Amino acid sequence: MSAPVFVADTLEGAAVGAALTLTGPEGRHAVAVRRLRVGEEVVLTDGAGRGASGTVAAVEGKDRLTVEVDEVRGEPAPQPRITVVQALPKGDRGELAVETMTETGVDAVVPWAAARCITQWRAERGAKALAKWRATAREAGKQSRRLRFPEVADAMTTSQVAELLSRADFAAVLHEEGSQPLATAELPTRGEVVLVVGPEGGVSPEELAAFAAVGAQPYRLGPSVLRTSTAGTAALALLLGRTGRWG
C-alpha cells in the first residue's frame, strides 16, 4: 500500500535525516483520522512539485506529527502543460469534473461562465463554489499522490477565455460537430495546451466564433456525446497519452 500524502505549509529545510513537523488540519487528519503511528511511512508535499518521504518519528496530542525524512524529491513542471476550461455544470458535477481531471493529471482548471450554463456563480455563492473546486483539487491531488496540484483559476468570461486561448500553443473546443477528431490533431510536445469543455446545452455559435477567431477550432472526441462533467477527463486522458506524458 502506498504511503499517504499530506500537505506541508513549507518543505524548507527538508533533507535526508531532517525532522519535519506536520501540524494544523493536516496534522489533525494524520493523527486523529488516519491514526498514523511511529514507524509508519508518509509523504509530505508542498503541492508545487516538491515532496519528502519518511517515517513517523513522533506523535503528539491530536494534531502534531514529526516525520524523519528518508528522501527528498522534486517533480518538474510537465510538458506540455494542459489546461481545461470547464463550463459550470449543475449541482456537484463541477466538483466531480475537477476531482477526476486532477486524478488523471490536469495542470490547471478554469471555470467558465458560458452563455448556456444553467448554473451561474455570483457574489458569495460564486466564492463558495470556487473554494469547493479548489478544495476538491487539493484533496484529489493528495488522494492520487501527486506532488504538484493543479491550479484552479478564478472564473472567466468568454472574452477572458478567448484571451487565454490566443496565447496557447494548441487550443481546441470539444464539439460534436467538429470536423476533425481530437485523436488526430497535431499536438505540441512543449508549451501550453488549452481545451474548452462546454456546458450541457453546448457551446453557442457566438462562442464558437469568438474562439475560432483566436485559433481555437472545434474538435470531436468520439461517436458519443459525453456529459460536461466527464468530457474533460476523457479528452485529457487522450491528450496525456498522445503527448507522451503517459509514456
Residues 231, 148, single domain; the answer is yes
Do 119 and 234 belong to one domain? yes
Q: For the chain, what percent of residues have pLDDT higher than 70?
A: 100
Of 233, 215, 226, nearest in space to 172 by CA: 215
Locate all alpha helices (DSSP H) within 144-204, ordered by sequence.
158-166
Same domain for 150 and 93: yes
| 132 and 36 in a common domain | no
pLDDT score at 35: 95
How far apart are alpha carbons 82 and 166 in whole angstroms? 15
Residue 27 zone, left/alpha/beta (φ > 0; ψ -120 to 50; rest): alpha
The C-alpha atoms of residue 61 and residue 52 are separated, in whole angstroms, by 23
The domain that holds 137 is classified in CATH as 3.40.1280.10
Domain containing 57 — which CATH number?
Answer: 2.40.240.20
Residue 67 has φ and ψ, to the nearest 5°, of -115, 130
Classify residue 148 by its DSSP letter: B
Give the residue numbers spanning the domain of 46: 5-74
- Answer for the pair 33, 47: CB distance below 8 angstroms, yes or no: no
Of 4, 1, 94, 15, the closest CA to residue 50 belongs to: 15
Residue 82's CB is within 10 A of a number of other CB atoms, namely 25
* φ/ψ bin of 48: left (φ > 0), alpha (ψ from -120 to 50), beta (otherwise): alpha
pLDDT (tens digit per residue) in 24-63: 999 999 999 999 999 999 999 999 999 999 999 999 999 9
- Arithmetic mean of pLDDT, 191-210: 96
Residue 222 neighbours by CB distance under 10 Å = 14
Residues 173 and 59 in one domain: no
Do both 18 and 100 map to the same domain? no
Whole-number pLDDT of residue 179: 85
Q: Please check whether residues 168 and 233 belong to one and the same domain.
A: yes
Q: 148 and 205 share a domain?
A: yes
Considering 56, 74, 92, which residue would you say is the last residue of a domain? Answer: 74
Task: Give the residue-averaged pLDDT of 156-182.
Answer: 95
Number of domains in the chain: 2
106 and 65 share a domain?
Answer: no
pTM of the predicted model over 0.85: yes
User: Do 186 and 114 lie in a common domain?
Assistant: yes
Is the per-residue pLDDT at 154 higher than 80?
yes
122 vs 195, higher pLDDT? 195
Same domain, 70 and 88: no
Residue ending a domain, choose from 74, 105, 124: 74
CB atoms under 10 Å from CB of 47, counted, come to: 19
d(CA 176, CA 73): 42
Is the distance from CB of 95 to CB of 136 less than 8 angstroms? yes
Query: Of 74, 91, 116, at which residue does a domain stop?
Result: 74
Instruction: Specify whether 150 is located in the same domain as 192.
Output: yes
Q: Are 7 and 26 in contact (CB under 8 A)?
A: yes
